[in-house]
Every structure is written in C-alpha cells, then in structure tokens.
Amino acid sequence: MPTPQPIRLAVIVPVFNEAANVAPMVDRLDAALAGIPWEAIFVDDDSPDGTAAVVRGIAARDPRIRCLRRIGRRGLASACMEGFLSTTAPFVAVIDGDLQHDESILPAMLAAVEGGADIAIGSRHVAGGAAEQGFSAARGALSDMGAKMARMLLPTPVADPMSGFFLLPRALVEEVAPRVAGRGFKILLDILLSARRKLAVAEIPYSFRSRQAGESKLDATVLLEFGALLLDKATGGIVPLRFLAFAAVGGIGVLVHMAALFLLVQAAGFGFGPAQWGATLVAMTANFALNNRITYRDARLRGPALWRGLLLFYLVCGIGAAANVGIAGLLVRDGVLAWGLAGAAGALLTVVWNYAVSSTLVWRA
Ligand code: GDD
Ligand code: MN
C-alpha cells in the first residue's frame, strides 16, 4: 500500500442548510486542488435540511471529506475556529459552502502564504476582483460602511476586510486563538484584529458569485454582532460583550415594564399593586425572549428547554429584584447613600447577579 501523503491544506467549509451545495462544492475543490494533498472539513451546526448526512454520504466514498457536526451551537465565526483547530494540516483556509467564493484561486492563495505572506485573502476590492452583481444597493452600502469602520481599526491596510474567504498557516491561528472573540460572522476581521503584530497580507482578486441554491443567513442580529465585535476590539475587550448585550436588554425591559404598567392601570383598570406584578411578568418575559434571540443567540434555547429556561429566568430575576430592593433599602436606611444612588447601586448589583446566574444556569453559555 502506498504511504498516504500528509495533508498540506485543510479547507474549512462552514455550512448551515447547504445540503444542495455540498456535492458541487466537493467537485469544485477536487478540480481546483489537483496536485495538493487536501482535506475539506464541513462544519455543520445541525442543519435541519440534513446537510451533515449529505457530507457523510460523500465522506463514505472519499476520505478527504470530513464532517464536524455541532449540536446546540450556532455561529459562522466559531464554526471556522473549531474547524481550524480540528486539523493537523500546516495550512488552513475558509471558503463559504454556498459556492459564492471562487475556489480556483486557492492554489494562488496557498502559494502566496508558502512564499512568505502571513495570510492570503480572496478579495473583491483589488484590481481584477468584483462584488456580486445581484448584491442589493442597500447590502452593498452596508458592506462598504462596515469595511470603512473596520479599516480604521486595522493596523495594516486591507482592501476587503469583510471577506470570508482566506488562507493562513495553522500556526497563526493557534497564535491568535486565545484572543479571538469567535462570535458573529466576521472571523477574518476577528483574526486580523487579534494579531499582536503587523501581518503581511496578500490579497488575491476574485469575483463574488451569486447564490444558486439555499439562502443567506445574514440578518439584523448579524449586523448587531458586527458592531459588537468592533466595539470589543476597539476597547481591548474590557467589558464582556455578552454583559453589554444583557444590560441593554435590561434597559429595554424597564421601558417594557413602564408601558405594561401604564396599560394595565389606565386601560385595564388594575390597581397599582397587581399592575406592578403583571408588568414585572411581562418585562421578564420580554427580556427572556430578547436575551434568547440576541445575547445568547449562539446557545439559543428551543422546545422544552425553552420553557425550563423561562421558569429558571423568572426565578433568577425574582431573587435579583428582591436583592435590589433589599440592598437599596439598607443603603438608604443606614444613610450610606442618597436614595438615587442607592437605587442605582441596587440596580447594578441586580444586573450583574442576573447576568452571572443566567449565563451559567439558564443558557450555560
Ligand atoms: N456552521 C455554520 N453555522 N455555518 C454558517 C452559519 C452558522 O451559524 N451561518 C452561516 N453559515 C455558512 C453558510 O451556510 C455559508 O456556507 C457561509 O457560512 C456564508 O453564509 P451566508 O449566509 O451565505 O452569508 P453571506 O453570503 O451573506 O456572507 C458571506 O459573504 C460575506 C462577504 O460580504 C460570508 O462569506 C461572509 O463571511 C462574507 O464576509
Ligand atoms: Mn453566501
């Protein structure tokens, strides 16, 4: 039996509901990477359309194909990081699983990094590259704005920092991994902003194709996460992003509480006491839903776990509220703080308590 060649390049393919694109993707990689020992690792977040089964079907015939299936997790950036860290190949690349990136430039990207570049980026914004024809004007403008903001933070100029198509030595991934936030959609930007040295970047032009099958997963929360990533990197990650999101949701909860209180008293004719209880319940439920969608998006609860989580969240917030009232009361009684400050101290303690306990017991994030 001939000794198999060690793998030189691992191509990480993040996939969520891309069942129809897997087989064409494998064929294209096979054609593009002739002569290079490669493997492709499809990282699937338990897609309901059966993407993982399709990958495994192909892997049964082709040992270069691997499937990394994650359950109860979501996220493009973390999928890429886990793919990188699951291979022994000295070079790693990421390519979208929806055929929008042009795999034929992978050998040129590999050659650039073998030739000394720290990272090769498939770029839509250097001479010879092009953005998707069908990119809506709004999406194009948004992408440009994001790229402008990103460039302000980057130590090295990069024409297409929003690209999701790049190749680098695995050693560089291991070097930056402890600082990578790993949340959201922009893993390249995350890596560039996490490097503590100036990187030699090679940008290779390609034309972004339009999607043939399946649909884009970019939505409003993805944009929020992008803003959060920039904020995190700009502030050196002092305040945990999740905490900021949790606190912002808490702020919205106060507004929801006031609105519900007003409606219950004014429109429904409840007395103030019962109306307070009702408004508290409404606000806690709204906070739970928002946190489940935004703050803990990557660990979102569904089905029976959702109801268990909601009950636990009521309990945690109930204790938090009792502590808030109790502590503020003590501080005022003992003359430690004026009532305004005491109220703020109680509220801060409550947010920290609610956050810490929710993160460990409710969402286990
Ligand atoms: N495992 C996993 N988990 N994969 C995901 C997830 C997820 O939560 N979300 C998206 N993906 C996969 C998709 O299946 C696809 O293969 C790839 O990541 C890109 O997702 P799309 O939903 O197609 O994103 P897009 O086309 O809007 O954005 C792409 O273009 C941008 C350039 O403007 C991405 O490549 C971005 O990274 C890129 O910056
Ligand atoms: Mn896409």
pLDDT, tens digit, 9 for 90 and up, residues 88-131: 999 999 999 999 999 999 999 999 999 999 999 999 988 888 88
Q: In the chain, where are the structural domains located?
A: 9-218, 241-362
Angle subtended at Cα 14 by Cα 68 and Cα 364, rounded to the nearest 5 degrees: 65
Contact call for residues 67 and 42 (beta carbons, < 8 A):
yes
| Pocket lining: 142 vs ligand 1, CB cutoff 6 Å | no
118 lines ligand 1 (CB under 6 A): no
Question: How far is 257 from 247, CA to CA, in rounded Å?
Answer: 15
Confidence check: pLDDT of 361 > 80: yes
Average pLDDT over residues 161-181: 94
The answer to whether the CB of 185 is under 6 A from ligand 1 is yes
Whether the pLDDT of residue 169 is over 90: the answer is: yes
Lowest mean pLDDT among 123-137, 283-297, 306-320, 343-357: 123-137
DSSP state of 92: E
d(CA 228, CA 245): 9
- As given in the structure block, the two tokens for residue 244 are 């900021």
Q: Whose CA is nearest to atom 21 of ligand 1?
A: 216
Question: Rounded to whole angstroms, how far apart are CA atoms 280 and 188?
Answer: 42
Three-state DSSP at 363 gives coil
Choose the residue to mutate in 28, 74, 100, 189 for probing ligand 1, maximizing ligand atoms within 8 Å of C-beta: 100
> Three-state DSSP class for 206?
coil
Q: Which atom of ligand 1 is nearest to the CA of 21?
A: 16
Tell me: pLDDT of 328 over 80: no
Q: Which residue is closest in CA terms to ligand 1's atom 35?
A: 164
CA of residue 200 to ligand 2 center, whole Å: 27
Q: Ligand 1 within 6 A of 216 CB?
A: yes
**DSSP track, 12-42:** EEEESS-HHHHHHHHHHHHHHTTTS-EEEEE
Cβ of residue 8 lying under 6 Å from some atom of ligand 1: no
Taking the alpha carbons at both ends of the chain, their separation in whole angstroms is: 47
The answer to whether the CB of 79 is under 6 A from ligand 1 is: yes
**Does the structure show a pLDDT above 70 at 158?**
yes
CB 199 within 8 Å of CB 154? no
Find out whether the beta carbon of 98 lies less than 6 Å from any atom of ligand 1. Answer: yes
- Whose CA is closest to atom 29 on ligand 1? 164
Mean pLDDT, the chain, whole residue set: 90
From the list 241, 247, 216, the residue with the least C-alpha distance to 353 is 247
Check if the beta carbon of residue 80 is closer than 8 Å to that of residue 12: yes
DSSP 8-state secondary structure symbol assigned to residue 184:
S
Confidence band for 242, pLDDT divided at 50, 70 and 90? confident
Angle between helices 241-262 and 339-357 (to 10 degrees): 120
CB of 19 within 6 A of ligand 1: the answer is no
Share of the chain above pLDDT 70, in %: 98
Does the structure show a pLDDT above 80 at 284?
yes
Across the range 51-65, mean pLDDT stands at: 97
d(CA 318, CA 353): 11
- Say yes or no: CB of residue 162 within 6 Å of ligand 1: yes
Ligand 1 binding pocket mutation candidate from 81, 86, 96 (most atoms within 8 A of CB): 96
Q: Tell me which of 3.90.1150.10, 3.20.20.10, 3.30.460.80, 3.90.550.10 is the CATH number of domain 9-218.
A: 3.90.550.10
Distance from the alpha carbon of residue 308 to the mean position of ligand 2, in angstroms: 35
68 band by pLDDT with thresholds 50, 70 and 90: very high
- What separation in Å is there between the alpha carbon of 126 and the centre of ligand 1? 21
